Amino acid sequence: MLRKFSPEKFRSHFPILSKPLRSGKELIFFDNLATTQKPQCVIDKISEFYSTYNSNVHRGMYEFSEMATNGYEQTRTSLASYLCVKDPREIVFVRGTTEAINIVAHGFGRRFLIASDEILIGAVEHHANYLPWQILEREIGIRRRIIPLDENHCIDIGKYEKMFSDRTKLVAIQHINNVVGGVNDIEKLVKIAHKNGAKILIDGASSLASKKINISKLDCDFFACSGHKCFGPMGSGFLFGKYGLLMEMLPYNVGGNMVNTVRFEESIFKMPPDKFEAGTPDVAAVIGFGEAIKFLETVDMPSAQAYLGELTSYLGKKLAQISGITIYGKPAKSGIFSFNLEGIHAHDVATYLGNEGIAVRAGTHCAQPMMQILNVPGTVRISLCPYNTAKEIDIAVAALGACATTFKPKPRLGRN
């Protein structure tokens, strides 16, 4: 493994990884796409908020509220800097990627799209990037067109480029596929969309924990991400949107804080990002997310990404040695593997591993269209993080081998 990146040092920031389970077994956490674990600094920051200056933001004329507001807005500034976003007002705080995509679907879709307009969507998107567009299709009459995949379950760029027409208004795609780990060439996809006069939304939920994202260079119109998938608290996340678009979009939620004037006759909304942040936010989660960004700034991300690539290769070789395993896709150093063991339900495999202290995910991974493509009811998914180790992989692969042996279908005896 690379000397420049120390998984042991990185791992030491996460207290939960050193705590034994109730069974006495050591935790091996391989469900990092569902959520990453939290470093101690994030945990301390949330505790500090609730124990020393818990209050609402933007409203109070007292010390605690000013402290909370400063912490909340500092996260916006820090996040904009980390993402190379020039204007912090282009960062909207949300509960997660799902809410961010819904803001775009509601605010952009109902403002700019009309019947017969087209949206291009990847064939293997998370449900959060299917359902809002299906609803718009029913309500407005837009047309969803599904982008074909290449042999690695990534966007087929050649076919993608040929799908545009003068009716294509938006592209909505994942950066990294959350089932098989294929990494889309989003820079190229963005350029093609803009060349054809379309806007583009990137679902970055699976990428920010292991990749440094430069949104200014990428030049996408929207980028959505969940904080809890990149070492921040649950209930945190952001939507980046180009300010001109945010100005024209309709608000998704309405209520307190997002409005300047309310009259019986009409109301006047605030400017972005306030227009999209109605009501009381999860202030502690946002401030905790800000601490997670500070933590990420201390990580040599290229080295961490290279280490994750080595882990991915190592796990792929080890999994391939298990009898009766089917691995779907070709993970591109993303640390994401979906597989099944012959004759054993994915849930049974996950339960067996769980009893050994190994946390994996099993099911459809909120990607049922992907299961249709793979022609399976579900898969077992391992998703790695830079705090994982080769030793953990060895333990998990041994457990999978034992599971395959334990539940191996017995041959049927013929009649005499």
Q: Please check the confidence at residue 385 and state whether its pLDDT lies above 90.
A: yes
Number of domains in the chain: 2
User: Which of these three, 297, 328, 363, is where a domain ends?
Assistant: 297
Whether 411 is covered by a domain: the verdict is no
Q: How many CA atoms lie within 13 A of 205 on its CB side?
A: 29
Q: Please check the confidence at residue 415 and state whether its pLDDT lies above 70.
A: no
Bridge partners, 379 (sequence order): 363
Q: What confidence score (pLDDT) does residue 2 get?
A: 38
Q: What confidence score (pLDDT) does residue 1 get?
A: 38
Q: Are residues 235 and 330 in the same domain?
A: no
Q: Are residues 277 and 323 in the same domain?
A: no
Q: What confidence score (pLDDT) does residue 3 get?
A: 45
CATH number at residue 378: 3.90.1150.10
Alpha-helical regions (H) of 21-179:
40-52, 63-82, 97-104, 110-112, 131-140, 157-161
4 pLDDT tier (thresholds 50, 70, 90): confident
Q: What confidence score (pLDDT) does residue 32 get?
A: 97
- Return d(Cα 74, Cα 286) in angstroms, integer: 10
Q: Please check the confidence at residue 305 and state whether its pLDDT lies above 50.
A: yes
Q: What confidence score (pLDDT) does residue 333 get?
A: 78
Q: Are residues 288 and 304 in the same domain?
A: no
Q: Please check the confidence at residue 406 and state whether its pLDDT lies above 90.
A: no
Residue 286 structure tokens = 């946002």
Whether 390 is covered by a domain: the verdict is yes
On average, the pLDDT of the chain sits at 94
- Return d(Cα 201, Cα 199) in angstroms, integer: 7
Q: Please check the confidence at residue 414 and state whether its pLDDT lies above 80.
A: no
Whether 35 is covered by a domain: the verdict is no
Q: What confidence score (pLDDT) does residue 64 get?
A: 94
> Phi/psi class of residue 87: alpha, beta or left (left: φ > 0; alpha: ψ in -120 to 50)?
beta
For residue range 267-277, list pLDDT tens digits in order.
Answer: 999 999 999 99
Domain of residue 390, residue span: 7-30+300-406
Catalytic residues: 366
For residue range 62-107, list pLDDT tens digits in order.
Answer: 999 999 999 999 999 999 999 999 999 999 999 999 999 999 999 9
For residue range 129-152, list pLDDT tens digits in order.
Answer: 999 999 999 999 999 999 999 988
| pTM for this prediction | 0.94
Residue 93: Cβ within 10 Å count: 25
Q: Are residues 165 and 276 in the same domain?
A: yes
- Return d(Cα 299, Cα 9) in angstroms, integer: 11
Q: Are residues 259 and 386 in the same domain?
A: no
User: Which of these three, 253, 268, 297, is where a domain ends?
Assistant: 297
Q: Are residues 237 and 345 in the same domain?
A: no
For residue range 186-201, list pLDDT tens digits in order.
Answer: 999 999 999 999 999 9
